[in-house]
Amino acid sequence: MSTDRRMVSRIIINGSLEAIWRELTKQDEPQLAVFNTWLHAQTLTPGAPMQMRTSSGKKVMVVGQVLEYDPPRRFAHSFRFAGYDDPPCLVTYELKPVTGGVEVTLVVDNIPTGTPTAKGIAGGVPLILSRLKAIVETGTPPWSTRLLYAAFSRLEFTLPGKCDVAKWPM
- What pLDDT, in 10s, does the model give residues 91-100? 999 999 999 9
Task: Say if CB 63 and CB 51 are below 8 A apart.
Answer: yes
pLDDT of residue 154: 81
23 or 153, which is more confident: 23
Alpha-helix runs per DSSP H in the chain = 17-25, 116-138, 143-155
Taking alpha carbons only, the member of 153, 158, 163 closest to residue 83 is: 163
pLDDT at 78: 98
Within-domain flag for 118: yes
More confident residue, 84 or 147: 84
**C-alpha closest to that of 95 among 67, 125, 74:** 74
Indicate whether 94 belongs to any domain: yes
- Whether residue 166 is contained in a domain is answered as no
CATH of residue 129's domain is 3.30.530.20
Task: Domain of residue 83: give its range.
Answer: 6-156
| Domain assignment of residue 36, yes or no | yes
Averaged pLDDT, 21-45 = 93
Task: Find the mean pLDDT for residues 37-62.
Answer: 94
Q: What is the largest CA-CA distance in the chain?
A: 47
Would you state the pLDDT for residue 43?
94
**Residue 4: pLDDT over 80:** no
Residue 79: inside a domain, yes or no?
Answer: yes
Query: Does 17 map to a domain?
Result: yes
Query: In the predicted model, is pLDDT for residue 3 greater than 90?
Result: no
Q: Is residue 165 in a domain?
A: no
**The total number of structural domains that make up the chain:** 1
Q: Using CA atoms, how far apart are residues 107 and 11, in angstroms rounded to an integer?
A: 12
Strand order in the sheet with 49-53: 6-13, 101-109, 89-98, 74-81, 60-70, 49-53, 38-41
Residue 99 domain flag: yes
CB of 160 closer than 8 Å to CB of 168: no
pLDDT at 1: 42
Whole-model pTM: value is: 0.92
Residue 170 has pLDDT above 70, yes or no: yes
**pLDDT score of 144:** 86
Distances from the Cα of 99 to the Cα of 14, 15, 96, angstroms? 9, 11, 10
